[in-house]
Amino acid sequence: MCRMVDLRQAVLAKNDATAQVLRTELTARGTTVVNLLSSPGSGKTALLERELLLARERGVPVAALTADLATENDALRLARSGVPVKQVLTDGLCHLEAAMLGRHLDGWLPEDTRLLFVENVGNLVCPAGYDLGESLRVVLASVTEGEDKPLKYPTAFGLAQLVVVTKTDIARAVEFDEAAFRANVEQVNPGVEVVLTSARAGAGLGVLLDRALAAGAGTGTHTPVMARQQQAHEHGHGNEHGHGHEHGYVQGHAHEPGHDHDHEHDADLDHEHEHDHDADHDHDHDHGHGHDHDHPHVHTVAQTR
């Protein structure tokens, strides 16, 4: 058990350090990363498609990377916006990691990209612990998922800098209790903004884009209490646990109670195996030495605005 905990801490510590480097590099080139987390079926793809269209109308250079265990459905939908889109198939891995994201951006992300929206794998457990080098972390929940969602997934909601409620056009039909939901969010993440949206009706459209641009400008970004507590804890015990690395706004060391990682990492053996699929489906095999144990398939769906 101790070795498992040590390995987990080592993996997360490495991810944190990689995320900080990635954040610094992207910020230096003027790119802001927005990490979108939600359960499957929350409606984040529909909302993101509308936000990408709006960004294009406003002349904001934007791109999107979407991750799924299988299918390229989300990327094909997002590509309708006309912005650069890349699909990453994780082959069963339940989350993205900073090193994975960095590799997939290399040579693909246009230099003038101002905003990069990352649609993480659809679940609220695994992705919650991994910083991707983002400047804005957003958690989405639909009105159909229940008002107690923030209490069931306190890490995901507790580390969010923005909470977005989707599908509000059917809120009355499903008897969504907005006051109860807001109270539960406030319990795990005091002071975080909650935005009500409907991709179908257009309610709240543009708020996500505005908050992303504000984050890129260094203004209006919420700092979760949980993130501050984790940062204080990690720095306070850095010498004991070997966590003497830099930290971003989230530590990447939080996990839902009772949930372990879906994969094990060997601290002494690094291996990666990727397949990059371009539009003509040529296969490039890249054998690197990351620490992800992932085998993602990458498909660039659209590269033109």
Report the alpha-carbon distance of residue 116 to residue 215 in Å, rounded. 12
* pLDDT for 92: 78
Q: Closest Cα partner for 89 from 126, 131, 119, 124?
A: 119
* 209 burial via Cβ count (<10 Å: 0-12, 13-18, 19+): buried
Question: pTM of the full predicted structure?
Answer: 0.77
* pLDDT for 237: 56
* pLDDT for 281: 39
Report the alpha-carbon distance of residue 189 to residue 257 in Å, rounded. 17
* pLDDT for 220: 75
Which residues touch 295 (CB under 8 Å, ≥6 apart)?
91, 93, 273, 274, 275
In this prediction, the residues of the chain whose per-residue pLDDT falls under 50 are 239-295, 302-305
- Cα dist from 53 to 113, 119, 145, 184, whole Å: 15, 16, 27, 32
